[in-house]
Structure 1
Amino acid sequence: MGGTSNDLGARQPHVPAGVRGGRLLRRLRVGIVGCGWVSRHRHVPAYRRSGVAEIAAVYDRKSERAEALAKYAHARSYSRELDEMLSKERLDVVSVCTPPWLHASQTILALEAGANVLVEKPMAMSEADCRAMCNAAERSGRQLCVSHNFLFSRAVAEASRRVDSGRAGRVESVIGFQMSTPRRRLPDWYESLPGQLFFDEAPHLTYLSRRFLGPREPQVVHAESLVADVAAVQRTQNVVAILRGNAGIGVLTMTFNASRAEWGFGIVGSEESYLIDLFRDQLVVLGHGGAHTPGEVLSQTIGGIAQIIAGSVKSGALYAARHQLYGHGELVEHFVNAVVAGAPVPVPAEEGRRTIAVLESICKASGLTAFVPST
């Protein structure tokens, strides 16, 4: 990993050359790989908000998409070979936002070119690919971080603080609830994944379950899927999985041909429980109860409504200011600060690998397979 000199940029390869003695001498140069929706509406705004990074270059095989994002981000565009951007731009950081089957190869290329990498979820298509990415990061001495963004959303972060402080008591179970629909805005490649929307969206509920069921890695004890006619747009209609954690049980239920899209997550504790509306970034804290007297029911109802109103006001203000990034802003801020300081990244690659291992187990148990394009 290099020497011990205080001249961090010169002696430690995981610290950018624009850093000396722990001080940032220039903004980090960022490259975006894949110029779709998540790049424009999540990664670019998050890097801008960090205050220590600038978008220097963007790459997409579709030249029109690369040029559009380059214009928006005031960056240079590349559309021939990724190597061209990596060799010419001397990037400190690369965000990989392409279809999941490209994550492993493009992440490894960026690491070998000397960049630190933030890769979108799912980290890769298999645990084996994740291991190859982890090994590449180790060889290069660069940082590899996975975009498990909801861990840093306002509601989940507050639930985490309460659980870690002991206010929840013992976590008895977690419940992940997902309604999705092919009528919402979707990537044009999702049909090639195991379970189509499942493999693209299920990482969120999976890493949240791992976060609160730990410290032992949860085991998939049962999984089922219901698949419709092969001609359906979203063939996988339902997936249900049961996870066994250290001392609790996780239940994930996902429906992909629902009337609308809604994602929720519940944490059931012995002292406090939490209901999280992931789409609206709202948390409802449930304290003690059980008498079911009229007064208790009324008090709990009023308390729940008050929490929802307060959460709506906060989220509404963020929406109005276009700052509602569902944790991406905080994740990117922690990531670039880790790159500058040579500190651990907020979501290490090993966390991404473990999440993919759980997803692979669910796919195997429920019979989900994929057709993955060769390019």
Structure 2
Amino acid sequence: MGKPLKVAAVGLGWVTTHRHLPTLRENPHYQLIGVIDSQARVQTIAQQYNCTHFQQTDTLENIPWLDEVDAITIGTPPKTHYPLIKTALQLGKHVLTEKPFAMTVAEGEELVTLAKTQGLTLGIVHNFQFASSTQRLLHDIKSGCFGKIKAIVAQQLSNPRRRLPAWYEQLPLGLFYDESPHFFYLVSKIAPGSLKLLQSDIFPSTLKQVTPAAINLQYQCDSTEFGTLPVSINMNFEAPISEWHLTVYGENYLGDIDIFRDIYIRLPNDGLHTTRTVIRTSALATWQHWSQHFTSGIKHLRGTLRYGNDVVFSRFAEAAITGCELEDIDAINALSVLKMQHEAIGFHR
């Protein structure tokens, strides 16, 4: 792909320092030129990654060394994404940003048009679709071993005591707006047809927060291959544990992605649900779960589990350098996810 893409990383919070920068460092198609953040830590992180430049600011204007940069990665709070992306595109830079990439559908549409007009690549970090567990599920669905797909259920349990960003309560429906894109792009990727929202139930917080206690979304998926099937996204933000799962119900198998652990479990139809098949299900589930901890679990402990970020960054570099299409993580896909977010928030039966 020729010379590496010269990049500046904007926003040095947890996602950038634990996902973006390590992934950039491991990819030979990137050269990290500088880092930008509003906090004084920017100099320390620049030294840690041997960056030539750093800037303590919250904008992209009047940074002289940006002339040396081809692309910008953005890991700042969601409300800052739109202005930063717009400025970067106007400066002639390719952009890879965290989700959600805008706060309104109108902003998203404007950014899609601007990137196209400028002839620049705009990518969004929709990474879990490239995680090992998701890819194995997609492979099994494509192979036909599931038989007829009967239903898809995405389930989020979120403990309000877990590590959360300070700004999430400032968003529409709080944490829902920040985290729901993961479930929307995963369900859209796995569903065998178009999705129609049938019901959106939002249960108010019991903790006096903007983030609701729970949101339950019910979709109808119309598939030419499998007919009509139910698709559900259920998100509970006041659970005692934190778990993210996506489950596919097929004629022959049930497939479950444990998103946090990057583990994929596939269980066969248990028929009459006899003692024998119950024991078989238990044995297969526990064996698959613990055996995969020897791969993903060790990576998790070492801080090297990338959850598909490596694929995202590789695809973005290739598109920015060669001009090829950015598959699955382009601005059109992000706009579709953004529309699903706002449809869920504003849905009326």
Q: Give the TM-score normalised by the residue count of structure 1.
A: 0.85
Q: Helix, strand or coil: the match of 1:82?
A: coil
One-letter code of the match for 1:340? I
Q: Give me the whole-angstrom Cα distance separating, in 2, the residues matched to 1:235 and 1:196.
A: 4
**Residues 234, 257 of structure 1: 8 Å contact kept:** no
> What is the CA-CA distance between 1:273 and the residue it aligns to?
2.4
- Aligned residue runs from structure 1 range 1-375, under 5 A: 23-25=1-3, 27-60=4-37, 62-75=38-51, 76-80=53-57, 81-85=59-63, 88-216=66-194, 218-228=195-205, 232-233=208-209, 235-246=211-222, 247-346=228-327, 347-365=329-347
Of 148-157 and 301-310, deviating more is 301-310
Instruction: Say which SS state the counterpart of residue 292 (structure 1) adopts.
Output: coil
What amino acid maps onto 1:107 in structure 2? I
Distance 2:64 2:348 in 1: 40
Q: Secondary structure at the match of 1:279?
A: coil
Q: How far, CA to CA, are the matches of 2:50 and 2:156 in structure 1?
A: 37
Q: Distance in 1 between matches of 2:68 and 2:149?
A: 46
Separation in 2 of the partners of 1:214 and 1:360? 22
User: Which residue of 1 is the match for residue 225 of structure 2?
Assistant: none
Preserved CA contact (<8 Å) 2:11 2:75: yes
Unaligned stretches of 5+ residues in structure 2 = 223-227
Alignment match, 1:10: none
- Secondary structure, in 3 states, of the residue corresponding to 2:231? strand
Distance in 1, matches of 2:125 and 2:162, equals 21
Is contact 1:66–1:77 with CA below 8 Å preserved after alignment?
A: yes
Q: Aligned-residue CA RMSD in angstroms?
A: 2.0
Q: CA deviation at 1:86?
A: 7.3
Contact kept, 8 Å, 1:29 with 1:55, in 2: the verdict is: yes
Distance 1:194 1:86 in 2: 35
Tell me whether 319-328 or 95-104 shows the greater mean CA deviation: 319-328
Aligned amino acid, residue 299 of structure 2: L
- Offset at residue 235 of structure 1 (A): 4.5
SS in 1 for 2:208: coil
Output the CA distance in 1 between the equivalents of 2:188 and 2:279: 34
Offset, 1:226? 1.3
In structure 2, the residue corresponding to 1:109 is in which secondary structure?
A: helix
Q: Distance in 1 between matches of 2:262 and 2:348?
A: 30
- For each residue in 1:309-332, what CA deviation from the matched residue of structure 2 results, as whole angstroms up to 9, or x when unmatched? 221111123124431021112221
Percent sequence identity is 26
Q: What CA distance in whole angstroms lies between the structure 2 residues aligned with 1:129 and 1:65?
A: 31
TM-score when normalising by structure 2 = 0.91
Instruction: Give the superposition deviation at 1:225.
Output: 1.1
**Number of residue-to-residue matches in the alignment:** 341
Q: Aligned partners of 1:227 and 1:71: how far apart in 2?
A: 45
* Amino acid corresponding to residue 309 of structure 2 in structure 1: H
| CA deviation map 1:132-155 (0-9, x unaligned) | 111111011111111111001110
SS in 1 for 2:338: helix
Q: 1:366 to 1:97 in 2, by over 3 A?
A: farther
Once residues 224 and 68 of structure 1 are traced to their aligned partners in structure 2, the CA distance between those partners, rounded to angstroms, is 45
Amino acid at match of 2:345: C
Post-superposition shift, 1:280?
Answer: 0.5
Deviation string, structure 1 residues 107-141 (Cα, Å, up to 9, x no partner)? 12112222211111112112211111111110111
